[in-house]
């Protein structure tokens, strides 16, 4: 803490934060180029940009994780050096990370005081924190049971604990990194009310997000970053989502895809009374039934962790279950004894898994090795019983990379060296080009740039138009609404209901996702 120069409480209109000429390079990569940014005191300032645009780097510099190569930081008009995060805290900056940094088996109170204990004995600190927490809870709708264990709290509550932690450390400036990624719409709305309340109390908030809707809804000012540069800062009231998207990508982007009405055919996938119990003995899927027809996209909405992941894993062949599943009328084995990912693929099921970094791809493998992952026993990729036909695989990979516009189109490059969007295109190219009967898609655009989202959505709709059945699982309601022909909402292992995307909206789906019945359900 000693490193930071104390901020003087100035009553002048000096901006809360002013960054002047910040640059940062990682080797030859220029992550931030001469960035100048001014955030007004008591405002909510949004920062948007594609993955790799430099948002996180900039915030990491502000929070003392990285040292800028050049440039200066002014906090409240005062030039401040921030060599580490304790200096940032001393300067009144608090950060709520995308992935929470909480100790799971500690109570809320213990987490809040962690690292801020007054002395060797915990009791006085805990008592002090309890009082302060109570006050904060009353002021900002930040109610959390101080004695609850973190692991028993919902994600939304855990996030409140992160905010409380920052406020307990007397933060005046709060940075939130993709805060709504894990929240239901209702929880997100609550978060926004909290942020509004904080703003009214004079706190300054920086919101990093890729969701343009949130920017439009809550921010006062928005800055757009592209390729390490700050391309624009505009008043939110004077801009539109389309304009922001264009500024982010550098070209016009279709936010909504045009698709023809579906012409569904026969049932490809039929699920009856599916129940899934995980390794810990917890029931994850509690008796669901559904069908997906040829030529339609069935979207499954829901907050993550409500059974969708398990549903995909059962269909993908690597999670045992009970109930019946038929593909094209033939029942498949669910015990896991006579089936695995290989036998599912043989049945014409292709699977784009939710987690491409640990399931869909082997990050250390090259693109061509990844292009056959799961299909490596296919005779086309093998010279004989023993040897793989590496040359043929490389050639085919080059062609697929071109068709799916994977950049850079280098088959020998390791998967980890591609951007998120291009990694996802590799997985999609592999699965779609197998021409499957049924395509399972989990979170197709998680961590994917806007430009690539458009491309990925188009490919999925194209496959539908070829008469294939598609089961889409996504936590992004916008995606579910714009892609699906029918929508099912999952909550706590149950299906809450089916909705027609043309006759429903985010609000209704959000209520279903939170487990509340609605009287919609016209069909």
Closest to 394 measured CA to CA, from 412, 416, 376: 412
Q: Does 28 bind other proteins (CB under 8 A)?
A: yes
Q: Is 444 in the site for other proteins (CB under 8 A)?
A: no
Among positions 105, 201, 289, 342, the unique one binding other proteins when judged by CB under 8 A: 342
232 close to 38: Cβ distance less than 8 angstroms: no
408 binds other proteins, rule: CB under 8 A: no
Residue 295 touches other proteins, criterion: CB under 8 A = no
Q: CA–CA separation, 490 vs 418, rounded Å?
A: 33
Kindly determine how many residues on this chain lie close enough to bind other proteins according to the rule CB under 8 A: 34
Question: Considering beta carbons, is residue 376 or 507 the nearer one to other proteins?
Answer: 376
Which lies closer to other proteins via its Cβ, residue 201 or residue 417? 417
- Please give the sequence-ordered ranges of beta strands (E in DSSP) within 237-355, or none if there are none: 267-277, 283-293, 297-301, 322-327, 330-331, 349-352
Task: Check: CB of residue 356 under 8 Å from CB of residue 424.
Answer: yes
Find the DSSP H helices in 141-237.
155-168, 185-200, 212-218
Of the candidate residues 390, 407, 412, 516, the single one contacting other proteins (CB under 8 A): 390
Q: Within 10 A of 275 (CB to CB), how many other CB atoms are there?
A: 17
Q: Under the criterion CB under 8 A, does residue 194 sit at the interface with other proteins? A: no
The yes or no reply on residue 388 touching other proteins (CB under 8 A) is: yes
* Closest to other proteins by CB, 29 or 114: 29
Stretch that binds other proteins, among 16-24, 136-144, 380-388, 395-403 (CB under 8 A): 380-388
Give yes or no for residue 436 binding other proteins (CB under 8 A): no
Which residue in the set 333, 365, 458, 521 belongs to the binding site for other proteins (CB under 8 A)?
365
State the Cα angle at 379 between 374 and 380, rounded to 5°: 90
Please say which residue, 80 or 424, places its beta carbon nearer to other proteins.
Answer: 424
Q: Is 228 in the site for other proteins (CB under 8 A)?
A: no
Our finding on whether 420 is near other proteins (CB under 8 A) is: no
Q: Tokens for 332, please give them.
A: 């498949």
- Distances in Å between the Cα of 391 and the Cα atoms of 304, 368, 369, 387 are 40, 10, 11, 11
Judged by CB under 8 A, which stretch of 85-93, 164-172, 271-279, 352-360 contacts other proteins? 352-360
Distances (CA, A) of 353 to 19, 285, 389, 482: 40, 18, 26, 20
| Footprint on residues 102-141 left by other proteins (CB under 8 A) | none
Q: Which residue has the tokens 């304009």?
A: 243
Contact predicate 141/191, CB 8 Å: no
Of 314 and 496, CB closest to other proteins: 314
Alpha carbon of 2 to those of 16, 17, 18, 84, 104: distances in Å?
Answer: 21, 20, 22, 11, 30
Question: Does residue 13 bind other proteins (CB under 8 A)?
Answer: no
Nearer to other proteins (CB atom), residue 384 or residue 523: 384
- Select from 120-128, 147-155, 372-380, 463-471 the region that touches other proteins (CB under 8 A): 372-380
Query: Which segment (13-21, 135-143, 248-256, 354-362) binds other proteins by CB under 8 A?
Result: 354-362
Find the binder of other proteins among 36, 98, 152, 343 (CB under 8 A).
343
CB 329: neighbour CB atoms within 10 A?
Answer: 9
> By CB under 8 A, which span of 199-207, 379-387, 431-439, 498-506 interacts with other proteins?
379-387
Contact residue for other proteins among 160, 293, 345, 457 (CB under 8 A): 345
CB nearer other proteins, residue 175 or residue 415: 415
Of the CA atoms within 13 Å of residue 505, those in its CB half-sphere come to 1
Per rule CB under 8 A, is residue 341 in the interface with other proteins? yes
Least separation in angstroms between residue 31's CB and other proteins is: 11
Phi-psi bin for 290: left (phi > 0), alpha (psi -120 to 50), beta? beta
Bridge partners of 49, per DSSP, are 225
CA distance 164 to 183: 17
Q: 17 by DSSP, 3-state: which?
A: strand
The correct pick among 151, 242, 340, 505 for binding other proteins (CB under 8 A) is 340
Contact 500, 523 (CB under 8 A): yes
Indicate if the alpha-carbon torsion angle 81, 84, 88, 94 is positive or negative.
positive
> Could you tell me which stretch among 10-18, 60-68, 280-288, 335-343 binds other proteins (CB under 8 A)?
335-343
Q: How far is the CB of 388 from other proteins (least distance, A)?
A: 6
Separation of alpha carbons 46 and 214, rounded Å:
9
Residue 360 engages other proteins in binding (rule: CB under 8 A): yes
Kindly write down the DSSP assignment for every residue of 413-467, as one continuous string: SBGGGS-HHHHHHHHHHHHHTT--SEEEEESTTTT--HHHHHHHHHHHHHHHHTT
Query: Which residue bears the tokens 């949130």?
Result: 214
CB of residue 480 to other proteins, shortest distance in Å: 23
CB of 358 vs other proteins, minimal distance in Å: 5
Least distance (Å) between residue 318 CB and other proteins = 5
User: Smallest gap, in angstroms, from Cβ of residue 320 to other proteins?
Assistant: 12
* Alpha carbon distances (Å) from 508 to 156, 443, 517, 518, 521: 19, 21, 9, 7, 10
Q: For residues 299-328, which are near other proteins according to CB under 8 A?
A: 316-318
CA distance 419 to 406: 10
Among 36, 263, 358, 435, binds other proteins (CB under 8 A): 358
Stretch that binds other proteins, among 1-9, 92-100, 299-307, 350-358 (CB under 8 A): 350-358
369 near other proteins, rule: CB under 8 A: yes
The string of DSSP letters for 46-58 reads EEEE-TTSSHHHH
Does 362 sit near other proteins (CB under 8 A)? yes
Residues 495-514 that bind other proteins (CB under 8 A): none
Which residues in this chain contact other proteins in the complex, by CB under 8 A?
26-29, 316-318, 340-345, 351, 353, 355, 358-365, 369, 373-374, 376-377, 382, 386-388, 390
């Amino acid at each position: 803490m000693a490193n930071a120069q104390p901020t003087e409480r100035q009553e002048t209109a000096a901006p809360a934060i002013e960054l002047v000429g910040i640059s940062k390079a990682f080797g030859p990569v220029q992550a931030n180029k001469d960035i100048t940014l001014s955030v007004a005191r008591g405002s909510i300032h949004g920062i948007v940009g594609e993955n790799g645009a430099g948002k996180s780097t900039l915030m990491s510099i502000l929070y003392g994780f990285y040292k800028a190569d050049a440039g200066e930081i002014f906090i409240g008009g005062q030039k401040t050096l921030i060599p580490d995060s304790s200096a940032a805290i001393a300067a009144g900056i608090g950060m709520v990370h995308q992935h929470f940094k909480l100790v799971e088996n500690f109570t809320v109170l213990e987490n809040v005081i962690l690292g801020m204990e007054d002395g060797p004995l915990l009791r006085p600190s805990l008592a002090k924190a309890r009082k302060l927490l109570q006050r904060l809870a009353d002021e900002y709708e930040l109610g959390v049971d101080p004695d609850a264990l973190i692991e028993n709290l919902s994600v939304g509550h855990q996030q409140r604990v992160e905010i409380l932690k920052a406020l307990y450390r007397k933060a005046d400036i709060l940075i939130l990194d993709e805060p709504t990624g894990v929240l239901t719409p209702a929880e997100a709305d609550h978060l926004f009310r909290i942020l509004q309340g904080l703003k009214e109390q004079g706190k300054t908030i920086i919101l990093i997000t890729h969701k343009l809707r949130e920017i439009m809804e809550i921010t006062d000012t928005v800055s757009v970053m592209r390729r390490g540069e700050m391309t624009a800062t505009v008043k939110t009231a004077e801009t539109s989502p389309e304009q922001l998207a264009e500024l982010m990508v550098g070209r016009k982007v279709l936010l909504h895809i045009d698709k023809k009405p579906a012409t569904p055919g026969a049932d490809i996938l039929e699920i009856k009374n599916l129940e899934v119990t995980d390794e810990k003995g917890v029931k994850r899927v509690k008796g669901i039934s559904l069908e997906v027809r040829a030529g339609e996209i069935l979207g499954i909405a829901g907050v993550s962790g409500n059974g969708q992941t398990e549903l995909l894993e059962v269909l993908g062949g690597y999670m045992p279950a009970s109930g019946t599943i038929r593909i094209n009328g033939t029942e498949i084995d669910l015990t896991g004894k006579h089936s695995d990912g290989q036998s599912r693929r043989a049945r014409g099921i292709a699977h784009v898994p939710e987690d491409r970094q640990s399931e869909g791809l082997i990050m250390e493998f090259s693109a061509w090795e990844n292009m056959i992952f799961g299909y490596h026993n296919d005779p086309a990729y093998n010279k004989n019983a023993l040897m793989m036909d590496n040359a043929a695989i490389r050639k085919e990979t080059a062609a697929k990379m071109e068709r799916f516009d994977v950049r850079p189109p280098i088959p020998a490059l390791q998967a980890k060296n591609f951007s998120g969007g291009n990694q996802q295109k590799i997985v999609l190219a592999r699965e779609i080009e197998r021409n499957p009967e049924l395509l399972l898609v989990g979170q197709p655009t998680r961590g994917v740039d806007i430009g690539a989202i458009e491309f990925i959505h188009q490919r999925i709709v194209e496959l539908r138009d070829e008469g294939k059945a598609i089961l889409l699982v996504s936590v992004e309601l916008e995606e579910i609404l714009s892609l699906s022909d029918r929508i099912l909402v999952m909550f706590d292992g149950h299906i809450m209901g089916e909705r027609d995307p043309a006759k429903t909206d985010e609000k209704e789906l959000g209520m279903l996702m939170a487990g509340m019945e609605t009287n919609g359900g016209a069909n």
